[in-house]
Amino acid sequence: MIKEALTGHKGWTPAWRDVAPQAHYDYIVIGGGGHGLATAYYLARNHGAKRVAVLEKGWIGGGNVGRNTTIIRSNYLLDGNEPFYEHSLKLWEGLEQDLNYNAMVSQRGILNLIHSDAQRDAFTRRGNAMILNGADADLLSTKTIQKRYPFLNVDNARFPIKGGLAQHRGGTVRHDAVAWGYARAADQLGVDIIQNCEVTGFRIEGGACLGVDTSRGYIAGGKIAACVAGSSGRLMSKAGMRLPIESHVLQAFVSEGLKPVLPGVITFGAGHFYCSQSDKGGLVFGGDIDGYNSYAQRGNLPVVEDVCEGAMAIFPMLGRVRLLRMWGGIMDMSMDGSPIIDRTHIDGLYFNGGWCYGGFKATPASGWCYAHLLATDTPHEFAKAYRFDRFEKGQMIDEKGMGNNPQLH
Ligand SMILES: Cc1cc2nc3c(=O)[nH]c(=O)nc-3n(C[C@H](O)[C@H](O)[C@H](O)COP(=O)(O)OP(=O)(O)OC[C@H]3O[C@@H](n4cnc5c(N)ncnc54)[C@H](O)[C@@H]3O)c2cc1C
C-alpha cells in the first residue's frame, strides 16, 4: 500500500477476475448483491464448493447493497428472527478479519427512542427477548439519554422522550465495501463473478431446474439459487411462481457534511425516521417506503416530505441542514415482514428473498444460512423458520404485528 501511495497508484489489479460464463456450474447464484455474494463466498469457504458462479444483471454493488442506510443491529423480538440476526451481528463483528477487507464496521450503537408508556412496555419486552437470545440490550432512562445525547429535546418536544432501548453493539457498516469485500474473497476461492449477465428464464424439465437462460447464453447448473431481493417477484415469475412478496421503493437521504453531531444511530419512535452520521460527516437518514408497488429505483416527493417532517419532529436542529443527495431502491416486502430462505417446489431451484428494508444487516447470516441450505439440502438452525409453508400453515413471523400488509412492515 505504501509503495502504491508513493508511485501514483498505478500498480493495483482488479479486485476480482472478469470471466466469461462457463457451460456448467455446480451452483449458480442469481444476483450479485450482498446476499448473493455472501452465499457464494460461504458456499466455497464453509462447504468447499468448487464450481460456483454469481450472475449479476448489472454491476456489483448497483442494487440495494449499495443503496441502504448501512444500519446493522439484532434488536428483534420474535424467536424466528432474533437468533438469526444475532448470528449476523456476530459475523459482522469478525467480517473484516475474515475477508481481509476494511468494511468500516462501526459498532457505534443504535438507540430506539420511547415516547409513551405503552411503547416502553413493548421495548422492554423486546429488550428482554434479545437478552434471552444472547444479544445485548439496555433500557435507558430519560436522564441518561439527556446526558448522552444533549441535543435531544426530551421535555418540550412535540413527542417527549420517555426513555430508549439501546443496543450498543449495533451500528453501521460501509455498504459498498461489503459488496466488494465479499466479491474479492469469493473470487479468491474460485467463484466466477459474472456481471452484465441477466437471467431471462429457467430451463425446467420434469419438475427439475436444469439451468438458466441469460443475456450471455444458456448456463447449466446443478443447483440454482435465486437471490435478487427487490426483483424476486419478476424473476420467480419466469419459473411460474407467484410469491407472497410485493415490491416497493424505499428512499434514503444524505445531507451535506457536518462536524460530528450524532454519536450513533437514532430512531424516532413516534414516526418512522432513522438517522446516523457517516464518517464523511453527512447525515444519512430514511423513513417509510413509498405507498405503491414499483420496480423503479427512484422514489416520489410525498415521502421526502414525510421523512423531513419526521426529522424536524425529533431533531429540529436539522432544519437548516442542506440535503445533498437522495435515491431509491426496490424492497422485496413479504406479507409478514420476515424473509424466506427455502427450497422451491421445483427440484434444484432455491429461493432467498423477502428482506423488506432490513436485509443489509442480515447479509452475512443470509449468505451463511443459504449456503448451508444449498450444500446440505437442510435448513440452517437459525433460518429454519424462514420457509414458504409458514404462509400456508399460518405460522407468520410478524415482528411488528401488522398483519398481512407488506406496506406496514
Ligand atoms: C434506501 C434503502 C435503505 C435501506 N436501509 C437498510 C438499513 O439501514 N439496514 C438494513 O439492514 N437494510 C437496509 N435496506 C435493505 C437492504 O439494503 C436490502 O434488504 C438488501 O441489500 C437486499 O439484499 P441484496 O444486497 O442481495 O440486494 P441487491 O443488492 O439489490 O442484490 C440483488 C441483485 O440482483 C440483481 N438482479 C435482479 N434481477 C436479476 C436477474 N434477472 N439476473 C441477474 N441479476 C439480477 C440486481 O441487479 C441486484 O444487484 C435498505 C434498502 C434501501 C433501498
- pLDDT of residue 156 exceeding 80, the answer is no
96 is a domain residue: no
Judgement on whether residues 265 and 397 belong to the same structural domain of the protein:
no
CA-wise closest residue to 107 among 135, 84, 139 = 135
- 214 and 200 in contact (C-beta within 8 Å)? yes
Per-residue pLDDT band for 407 (boundaries 50, 70, 90) equals: confident
Q: Stretch 260-275: mean pLDDT, rounded? A: 93
Q: Stretch 249-268: mean pLDDT, rounded? A: 96
Name which of 87-96, 151-160, 208-217 the model is least confident about: 151-160
Could you tell me which residues are beta bridge partners of residue 113? Answer: 164
- pLDDT of residue 353 exceeding 90, the answer is yes
Q: Stretch 210-230: mean pLDDT, rounded? A: 98
Quick one: how far is CA 219 from the chain centroid? 28
What is the count of structural domains for the chain?
Answer: 2
Q: Stretch 211-220: mean pLDDT, rounded? A: 98
Judgement on whether residues 43 and 148 belong to the same structural domain of the protein:
no
The residue ranking higher by pLDDT, 383 or 157, is 383
Name which of 46-55, 114-123, 398-407 the model is least confident about: 398-407
Judgement on whether residues 250 and 330 belong to the same structural domain of the protein:
yes
Cell 457498516 found at:
173
| Most informative mutation of 360, 361, 370, 399 for ligand 1 (most atoms within 8 A of CB) | 360
CATH number (domain holding residue 187): 3.50.50.60
The 10s digit of each residue's pLDDT in 22-61 is 999 999 999 999 999 999 999 999 999 999 999 999 999 9
Q: What is the pLDDT of residue 131?
A: 97
CA of 306 to the centre of ligand 1 (A): 23
205 is a domain residue: yes
CA gap 111, 399 in Å, rounded: 18
| Most informative mutation of 68, 195, 250 for ligand 1 (most atoms within 8 A of CB) | 68
366 is a domain residue: yes
CA of 99 to the centre of ligand 1 (A): 20
CA of 161 to the centre of ligand 1 (A): 33
* Nearest residue (CA) to ligand 1, atom 24: 33
Q: What is the pLDDT of residue 226?
A: 98
What domain range includes position 394? 23-70+176-243+336-408
- Single residue among 334, 365, 393 that ends a domain in this structure: 334
Judgement on whether residues 404 and 354 belong to the same structural domain of the protein:
yes
Q: Over the chain, what is the mean pLDDT?
A: 96
Please give all residues whose beta carbon lies within 6 A of any atom in ligand 1, as ranges: 30-36, 55-58, 62-65, 67-71, 198-199, 227-231, 235, 250-252, 286, 329, 355, 357-361
Judgement on whether residues 256 and 370 belong to the same structural domain of the protein:
no
The 10s digit of each residue's pLDDT in 72-109 is 999 999 999 999 999 999 999 999 999 999 999 999 99
* Nearest residue (CA) to ligand 1, atom 9: 71
pTM for the predicted model, two decimal places: 0.97
